[in-house]
Structure 1
Amino acid sequence: MDTSSHSFGGRMSGREDETSLNLTETVTSTNMASEVDRRLHDVGVAALAAVAQFPRPVNNQSDSFIVSEVVNAVTSAGPFEPRSMNSGVSSGRRGPHQQAGTGTAGPEFVFGSNLGGGDVDVEAILQNFIQRTEARQNAFATDSGYDDSQKDMIMDYESATMEDTASPTHTSDNELEDFLQFYPDEEEYYYKRKQRPAPDAEMTDYDLDDFYNSINYEELEMDLPQTLGVSMADAFENHFADPLELPGPHPASIIHTSTYERNLTIDEFIQRWMVSIHPLPQGFHTESRIPPQLRPLSKMISWQPPQETARPHNWRRDFYDLQQIPWTETLRVTRSDARAVRDAWYTSYHNLDYSQVGHAKRLPAHETFFRESSMHTSHKASIEHFQLRNLMSTPAHNTVHYASRSKIFSWTPSTGDARCLIDMSQADPESGFLDPVKISTMKTAHGLTIAGGFCGEYAVCSSNGTGPSFKGLVTPDFNDGITNHVDIIPNRTGPSPTGVFASNDKHLRILDTETNIFTSDQELSQPINCTATSPDSRLRVVIGDSPDAWIIESDTGRPVHPLRGHRDFGFACAWSPDMRHIATSNQDKTVIIWDARTWRPLETIDSDVAGYRSLRFSPVGGGPRTLLCTEPADRISIVDAQLYRSRQVHDFFGEIGGADYSPDGGEIWVANTDAHFGGFMRYERRQWGRRVGLTDLPSEWATEEELEGDSRCVLGKRERELRFMRGLSDVEHESLIL
C-alpha cells in the first residue's frame, strides 16, 4: 500500500508507522517554537495513526489513502487538549454499540499554520470520523445485501454459538469482505497489496464452529515450471545446465482452473535425459539425418510396446517388468538409473508452504502381497485434471471400467472387448451439456456407473449397460462446478444406491439414483476433493482444500469432529470395512491412519515421491487386510492394514489415472495413462489366509465363519479355499490335481 500524505513541513510517504516515526524524529530534532507547534505535532501524529485503522478512505485509482480526509477530520474546530501519540491512537477505537455520527471536515491543514485560535479535541474528532466512516460502511453493506449468515459452511444448519464466536479471519473491514466474496482464496494477496499483516488463525482443537468458517491459508510464492508450455526442443535449445534440475512447484492460484499442468511424459523424460547426457556439438546442423549420439533416442521414440505382456510361469524372481521398456538394449542405460533420474525430476504438487521436517515414517517395503501378472496396452484411460485421479473402477475380476476423454468404457481383459457405457462426447442442450464433456471423475459400484464432468455435468447408467440411464447437471455453476469426486453407497432407507457428488463449488449433493432427484445439498466452506462414507452409511469423512479433514453426519451434514494432522490440501480418504480405521492422504506426502472410535491418529506414513491421490482398503473376503495407496505417477504401495508396519511397492513409468481392487480382492488393476508406454497393469494376490500377531490373530476383516454369512464377501467357502490356484502354472496345477 502506497501512503500519500499532505505536506507537514515537507512531503512524506511510506507506511503509517514509518511516517509517524519520521515525523516524530523531524519535530523532535528541532526545538518547537511554541506550545502551538507541540499541539499541532500531536494532531498530525494522531491523524496519521488513524489512517491504519480505517482503510476505507482509499483512492480507487492509485490504491493509496486519501489522508487529507483524515487530517481534515482531526483538525476540525473544537476544544483542544494536548494528548500523546498513544492516546491519539487509542481514541480511534469505537465501541460496538455506539451510534454513527455526522460531521463536516474542515479545510486542509498544513503543519506550522495558525489554527486561528481555539483548541482541538482530538478524541472527539477522531471519534466523529470513525462513526462517519462506519456509517458509510454499514450503508454499503445494507445496499449490497450482504448477510453474515452466508459465511456458514452449511446453509441449513444454525450453530448455537455462531453469533458469539468470531471467525478466525474476521475483520470489520467491509472492503476485505467484499473482496473475499469474489476471491475467497486470495486473502493474503489482499493484505500484501495493502501492506498490512494478515491475522493469524487461532483454532481450538475441538471447536466445531471452525467447521463453518472459511479459513484462508498461505499460498506458495513460486514461479511456474520452466518447461511449462515450452516444447522439449526449445527447452534443450536453451541448455538445461543441470540435468537433475527440478521444475518449480505449481502455484495454488490456478488449482481447479487449468488442466494443462502435468509432469513430463515418458517420451519427454527420455528426450530430456538423453540430450542432457549427449549434448550436441557446437554449431552442429543437418537437414538429412539426426546426430549419431541421438539415434538410440529415435529408436526408443518409435518403439512399439506389445499389446499384451504376461509374467512367465517359470519366472522365479520377485520383480518382473511388465512394461518391458528396452532401456539397456536401446539406450544403453539401466532401469535403475532411469528410475532414479525420473524420481529426481518428478514434480510433487502442493499448495501450502510448510516445513519439510515431519514425524512421518517410511515403512519398509518387504511384503509380497501381490505380484506382477500382465499388462494390456490396447486401451488407455485419460486424465483431464492433473489432481483428480479416480478414473477407473473394477466391478468384477474380469471387468474394468475406465474414463477416456468424454466416454466411459467397460473392458473385459480376458477377451479384449470394450464397449461404451456412457457417451458424453456430443453436446446435449436438453441435459444442459453445451459442449462435449470432459470427465473429471467416475465410479462403478453397487450395479451403477456414475461419471462427473468439468462444468457440473453428470451421467448415470447401470454397470452392465442394459438398464435405464440419465444425464443432468449437478450444479449450474459452469465456472467452478467441476465434479471433484463421486461415490456410490447403499441406501439405508431404500433399495437403490445413492450417489454422493463433491463439487468444486463447495457443495456436497446426494442423488437418489432411482428418481434422479437430489435429496440433499450441503454447503461447506472449502471445496471437497474426496469423501468416504462409513460402512453403516451414518457418518462421512470429507477432505479437500484445507489441511483438516472432517467427520460429518451423512444425512444432515452436521460436523462431528475434525481430523487435524496434515499440512496441505487433501485428495484421498477411505473408511475400513470394519469401521475402526480411517485413512486420509494429503499433498504433504503423508497418509494418516485414524482410530474411528477416538478420532486420534494411530500412524503417519510417508510416501516415496508424491502425495497419494487414491486410497482403497481391500474388500472383505480378499485375504490379509491391505490398504492400496496410489501416487499420481510411477508407484503404488500396498500397506499392511493390520499393524501398519510394513508395505509392498510396485514401481513403473507413467502417470496413474486410478487403481482399484477386484471385488474378491484377488487382483489390483492400475490405469497407466502414458500415451506411449501406458496401458492397464494387473497384479495378482499371492498371500491368502495368513495369520499375524503373537496370538495368531486373523488378518482378514472377518473370521471364516463370519465370511460365510457376510454379504460383502463375493466368494463362497469352496472358492476361497481354491483361490490360491489362480497363481499356479499349468505344470503346477496338473501336479496338484494328480
Structure 2
Amino acid sequence: MLSPHDRAPDDITAEQAASGVDVQGISWDSLQLTREDYRATRLRENPRRDWAETTAEGLRDLVKEPKKDARFYEFFLNTRKVKCNIAHFQLRNLAWATSKHDVFVTHENVVVHWDACAKRKSKVLDLSGSSASGPNGLGNRVQICTMTAKDDLLIVGGFDGEMIAQNLRSGTTVHNKRITDDENAITNAIDMHDATIITCNNDRFVRTFDKNTFKSKSAFLFQQPVNHATRQPLGKMVAVAGDDKPIHVIDGDTDERITQLHGHEGYSFATAWHPGCRLLATGSQDQTCRIWDVRNMSRSLSVLGARLGAVRSLRFSSCGQFLFMAEPRDFVHIFDVNKGEFDNCQEIDLFGEIAGIAPTPCSEALYIAVSDRTFSSLLQYERRTNSGENE
C-alpha cells in the first residue's frame, strides 16, 4: 500500500473532499504519481489471493454491466481515529452499525465502538488477553475473525471456535464459550434472526442457539466447511455457503434440504436475503454475486461482477432499495435493486483491504472499515435525499 511523506490528518470531512482533498488523506503530490495511475496499476497487477485465478470465459459473458454513474450515497467523513484490521483474509464481516451513529469494528482483537455523533471511540470488548485490558477484558486472547451486532447484543467469533456475546446496554459479557472442540473450529460467520443465533464453522456445521439463553437449538452437518448462512426474513429457508460450489438451501426448522443453487464456479463466503423475502444474493470467490428468485431457483436472475477479487460481503438495505457488495480490497458496489433489475450502480473506489461494510438499520448511512498499515480508517457515507438520481 501507499506510504505518504506527510502524515494524513485524523479526519477528512465532506467539505475538504469537495475542495480536492483525498477522502483517505493520501497525499498524491508527495507520492509523485496520480491517483488514476495508481488505480490502473492496482487493476493491472491484481494480486489475486483468492481461489479463482481467472474468471471463466462463459462466466464473464453472463456478468451484467450496469451503469456506474449513480450517486446513492455521498462521502461524509473519514476518521483515522478508528483503526480496523483483519484476522483471516477470507472473513470480512468485521463492521456493524446498530444505529446511524453507533458503529462497531475490530482492531487487534478488541471491539471498538464509534459514536459518530460525538466523534468518540471506546472499547466495548477486549479479547487481546492484555493484563491491562480493563473491566471489559476477559483475560484470554481470542483472535476475532467474525462479528455481528444488532439492537443491544454484540457477538464475536474466534479462530478456536469461540462465541462471545456482550450486552451493549449493560456492558456485561453474557456468553463466553467454544461452539465446538473440533481442531478445525474457526467461527466463520454469525447471524441473528429474531430470537435465534446462527453460526457457521469450519467443522462443517451450521448451528442455531437461543438468543436469550444461548442454549443449543439445532446442528446441521454439511460435507464441507461452512462459511456463511442467513435465514429468510419472515420465512423458513436458510441459505448456506461453503467450500463447495453449490449454495445449499435448507429448511431452518427441520434441516430438510430444499434445493441447491448451481452457477458459482468457486467457494462462497456471503449470503444476504432481501427484506421482501423473495430475492437472495450470494457472493463467491469466482468474483461474482448471483441474485436468485425463490419462485424459480433453477437459475440465477442476475450475475453481478467484481473488479479485483472475490465477493466477500453482501448486505441489503433495510428499505430494500439497495444491495451493498464488498470486494476484499478497494471496491464497494451499491446496486439499485429496482424490481430485481440491478441496472444502476454506485462504485466506491478506495485503496486498502476492506474489513467490513455496515449499512445502518434505517439505510441513512453506510460505513466502510478499511484495514491498512498507513491508512486504516472508518469511512462514513450519507444517503442522498434524491438517492435515485445520477450526477
Q: Could you state the TM-score of these two structures normalised by the residue count of structure 1?
A: 0.49
Amino acid at match of 2:360: S
SS in 2 for 1:380: coil
Tell whether the 8 Å contact from 2:285 to 2:311 is kept in structure 1 after alignment.
Answer: yes
Match for residue 359 of structure 2 among 639, 661, 686 = 661
Report the number of matched residues: 378
Q: How does 1:599-618 map to 2 (within 5 A)?
A: 599=297, 600-618=299-317
Aligned equivalent of 2:42: 342
Structure 1 residue 467, shift from structure 2 partner: 5.3
SS at match of 1:343: helix
Instruction: For 2:129, give the aligned amino acid.
Output: Q
1:361-404 Cα deviation digits (max 9, x unpaired) = 33220111111111000111110001100011011111111112
TM-score (norm 2): 0.91
Does residue 471 in structure 1 map to residue 181 in structure 2?
no
What does residue 69 of structure 2 align with?
A: 366
Residue aligned with 2:375, SS: coil
2:23 pairs, out of 322, 329, 332, with: 322
Q: Distance in 1 between matches of 2:374 and 2:282?
A: 32
Deviation (angstroms), 1:425: 2.4
Give 2:346's aligned amino acid.
Q
2:154 match: secondary structure? strand
Counterpart of 1:529 (choices 210, 227, 230) is: 227
Distance of 2:302 and 2:63 partners within structure 1: 8
SS at 2:36 equivalent: helix
SS at match of 1:408: strand
Partner of 1:364, secondary structure, is coil
Query: Aligned AA for 1:266?
Result: L
- State the distance in 1 between where 2:377 and 2:87 align: 16
1:418 partner letter: K
Deviation of 1:598 after TM superposition, in Å, equals 1.6
Q: 1:456 to 1:427 in 2, by over 3 A?
A: farther
Selected match of 1:581 from 275, 279, 293: 279
For 1:149-298, list aligned pairs within 5 A.
265-267=1-3
The residue identity in structure 2 corresponding to 1:346 is: N
The equivalences for 1:547-558 within 5 A come to: 547-558=245-256
Is the 8 Å Cα contact of residues 392 and 403 (structure 1) preserved in structure 2? yes
CA distance in 2, matches of 1:690, 1:370: 10
> Which of 340, 363, 372 is the equivalent residue of 1:674?
372
CA–CA separation in structure 1 for the residues paired with 2:11 and 2:159: 33
When residues 314 and 471 of structure 1 are mapped into structure 2, their CA distance, relative to the original with a 3 A threshold, is closer
Amino acid across the alignment from 2:160 = C
1:636 and 2:332 aligned: yes
Bigger mean CA offset, 532-541 vs 385-394? 532-541
- The residue type equivalent to 1:321 in the other structure is D
Identity %: 29
Q: Aligned letter for 1:577?
A: P
Partner deviation per Cα, 1:72-111 (whole Å, 9 max, x = no partner): xxxxxxxxxxxxxxxxxxxxxxxxxxxxxxxxxxxxxxxx
What's the offset of the Cα at 1:559?
0.8
Which is richer in helix?
1
d(CA) in 2 for partners of 1:596 and 1:348? Answer: 32
Question: What SS class does the counterpart of residue 469 from structure 1 fall into?
Answer: strand
Q: Judging by fraction of residues, say which structure has more strand.
A: 2
8 Å Cα contact 1:547/1:569 also seen in 2: yes
- 2:165·2:174 contact (CA, 8 Å) conserved in 1? yes
8 Å contact from structure 1 (residues 454, 481) kept in 2: yes
SS of residue paired to 2:82: coil
Give 1:465 shift.
4.2
Correspondence for 1:376 among 70, 75, 79: 79
Task: Structure 1: state its 5+ residue gaps.
Answer: 1-264, 268-299, 492-497, 692-738
Aligned mates of 2:25, 2:265 — CA distance in 1: 38
8 Å Cα contact 1:446-1:488 kept in structure 2? no
The equivalent of 1:417 in structure 2 is 120
In the alignment, does 2:146 pair up with 1:441? yes
Match of 1:484 among 173, 178, 188: 188
Equivalent residue letter for 2:84: A
Preserved contact between residue 71 and residue 387 of structure 2 (Cα < 8 Å)? no
User: Which of structures 1 and 2 has the bigger CA Rg?
Assistant: 1
Look up the equivalent residue of 1:330 and give its one-letter code. Answer: S
CA distance in 1, matches of 2:212, 2:119: 32
Counterpart of 2:134 in structure 1 is none
Q: RMSD of aligned C-alpha atoms?
A: 2.4
Q: Which amino acid aligns with 2:187?
A: T
Structure 1 equivalent of residue 98 of structure 2: 395
User: Could you tell me how far apart the structure 1 residues matched to 2:101 and 2:149 are?
Assistant: 14
Higher mean displacement: 535-544 or 436-445: 535-544
2:210–2:217: 8 Å Cα contact kept in structure 1?
yes
The code of the aligned residue for 2:351 comes to: F
- Please state how far the C-alpha of 1:517 moved relative to its aligned partner: 1.3
Alignment equivalent of 1:333, drawn from 26, 33, 41? 33
Q: Which residue of 2 aligns with 1:28?
A: none
Counterpart Cα distance in 2 of 1:354 and 1:338: 22
Determine the structure 1 residue equivalent to 2:206.
508
Question: CA–CA distance in 2 between the matches of 1:353 and 1:366?
Answer: 29
The change in CA–CA distance for 1:337 and 1:468 in structure 2 (over 3 A counts) is closer
Instruction: State the secondary structure of the residue aligned to 2:301.
Output: strand
Question: Offset at 1:424?
Answer: 2.0
Q: CA deviation at 1:458?
A: 1.4
Please report how far the alpha carbon of residue 468 of structure 1 lies from its aligned counterpart in structure 2 after TM superposition.
5.4
Find the aligned partners of 2:266 and 2:21 in 1 and give their Cα distance: 35
Q: Is the 8 A contact 1:392 1:401 kept in 2?
A: yes
Shift of 1:314: 9.7
Please give the residue correspondences for 1:117-136 in structure 2 after superposition, counting only pairs within 5 Å. Answer: none
Alpha-carbon distance in structure 2 between the residues aligned to 1:558 and 1:665: 34
Cα distance in structure 1, aligned partners of 2:139 and 2:370: 30
**2:40 aligned partner, one-letter code:** A
Higher relative contact order structure (alpha carbons within 8 Å, sequence separation ≥ 6): 2
Measured against aligned partners, the alpha-carbon deviations of 1:332-389 in whole angstroms (never above 9, x if no partner) come to: 2111001111222232233357762022233220111111111000111110001100
Q: Distance in 1 between matches of 2:130 and 2:8?
A: 35
Deviation digits for residues 525-556 of structure 1 (CA, Å, limit 9, x no counterpart): 11111112100151110111111101111122
State the alpha-carbon separation in 1 of the partners of residues 268 and 307 from structure 2.
17
**Separation in 1 of the partners of 2:170 and 2:44?**
44
CA contact (8 A) 2:124 2:171 kept: no
Give 2:315's aligned amino acid. Answer: R
